[in-house]
């Protein structure tokens, strides 16, 4: 099987290395395509070439995936797949531009350097070519998480957009504190803030442009900031009910409750 990977960034390179196929890379950055091809033992292809491949994989930013599918789908003979991270628009574009071909959207739920991991899989029209690709990914130790495009994109509003907005908001609002004043919760948030801000800004911007979720975080923060003590207790119990199923009745032993060990823990 030969696979054209459009997009020679970290995710496209990971995909080319993770599958058992002959690969070619096409990218607006020719040097990036050459580097990816060298790394995985593939070839470089023209971005507007006329050659066809068994499979075309779109590994482009999620804000550009529908346009890339429209431009590249006719180069596929058997299947079109993507690893952009947004599924409903991608699969709709595939159905429009490759109605007779196999169509699968993949979302690796990890950074390439942390592979293997869980990969969300939405099969719109599966078949032998995409089955072989998925089998190769599973053989590399990845866990395939079968889903629908709607369920995936709905989950990403919380898993990515809301989560990133909350962590970035803390990273922007936090001020330096003297050594020794760290609490368990602060240490965890500090670690998350460092992890998130060590990434690629464009990726986080694309996520916020694609998925709702940040507004809900902003609204919740505004409610907390404006709350009086009784209102804050009610918000705390509402949050606890979201995560524990019912209002908090005690502590969980993790040292974060100020009444538990005599500290200010939070």
Kindly indicate the confidence band of residue 246, based on its pLDDT and cuts at 50, 70 and 90: low
Same domain, 198 and 231: yes
On whether residue 168 sits in a domain, the answer given is yes
On whether residue 21 sits in a domain, the answer given is yes
Looking at the predicted structure, is the pLDDT value of residue 68 above 90?
yes
Token pair for residue 192?
Answer: 């998350």
- The string of pLDDT tens digits covering residues 247-263 is 444 444 444 443 332 33
- The string of pLDDT tens digits covering residues 89-136 is 999 999 999 999 999 999 999 989 999 999 999 999 999 999 999 999
Same domain, 93 and 28: yes
Please tell me the pTM assigned to this model.
0.88
Lowest mean pLDDT among 54-63, 168-177, 195-204, 238-247: 238-247
Quick one: which H or E segment has residue 56? strand 53-58
Q: How confident is the model at residue 49, as a pLDDT?
A: 84
Looking at the predicted structure, is the pLDDT value of residue 32 above 60?
yes
Same domain, 6 and 131: yes
Kindly indicate the confidence band of residue 266, based on its pLDDT and cuts at 50, 70 and 90: very low
| Number of structural domains found in the chain | 2
Kindly indicate the confidence band of residue 245, based on its pLDDT and cuts at 50, 70 and 90: confident
Report the b/e string of 155-183 with b at 16+ CB within 10 A. Answer: ebbeebbbbbbbbbebeeeeeeeeeeeeb
Same domain, 195 and 242: yes
Q: How confident is the model at residue 254, as a pLDDT?
A: 43
On whether residue 259 sits in a domain, the answer given is no
Same domain, 171 and 119: no
Question: For residue 71, what are the domain limits?
Answer: 2-147
């Amino acid at each position: 099987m030969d696979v054209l990977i459009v997009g020679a960034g970290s995710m496209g390179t990971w995909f080319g290395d993770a599958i058992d196929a002959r690969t070619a890379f096409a990218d607006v950055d020719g040097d990036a395509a050459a580097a990816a091809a060298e790394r995985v033992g593939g070839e470089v292809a023209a971005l507007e070439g006329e050659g066809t491949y068994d499979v075309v994989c779109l590994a482009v930013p999620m804000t550009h995936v529908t346009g890339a599918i429209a431009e590249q789908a006719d180069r596929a003979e058997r299947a079109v797949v993507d690893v952009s991270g947004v599924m409903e628009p991608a699969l709709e574009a595939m159905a429009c531009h490759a109605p007779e071909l196999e169509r699968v959207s993949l979302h690796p739920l990890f950074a390439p350097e942390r592979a293997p991991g869980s990969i969300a899989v939405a099969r719109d029209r599966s078949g032998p070519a995409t089955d072989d690709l998925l089998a190769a990914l599973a053989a590399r130790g990845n866990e395939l998480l079968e889903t629908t495009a709607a369920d995936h994109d709905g989950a990403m509003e919380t898993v990515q957009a809301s989560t990133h907005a909350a962590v970035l908001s803390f990273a922007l609002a936090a001020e330096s504190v003297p050594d020794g004043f760290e609490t368990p919760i602060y240490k965890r948030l500090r670690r998350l803030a460092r992890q998130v801000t060590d990434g690629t800004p464009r990726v986080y911007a694309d996520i916020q442009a694609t998925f709702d979720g940040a507004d809900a975080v902003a609204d919740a923060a505004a409610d907390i900031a404006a709350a009086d003590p009784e209102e804050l207790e009610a918000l705390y119990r509402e949050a606890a009910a979201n995560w524990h199923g019912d209002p908090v009745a005690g502590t969980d032993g993790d040292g974060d409750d100020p009444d538990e060990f005599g500290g200010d823990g939070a």
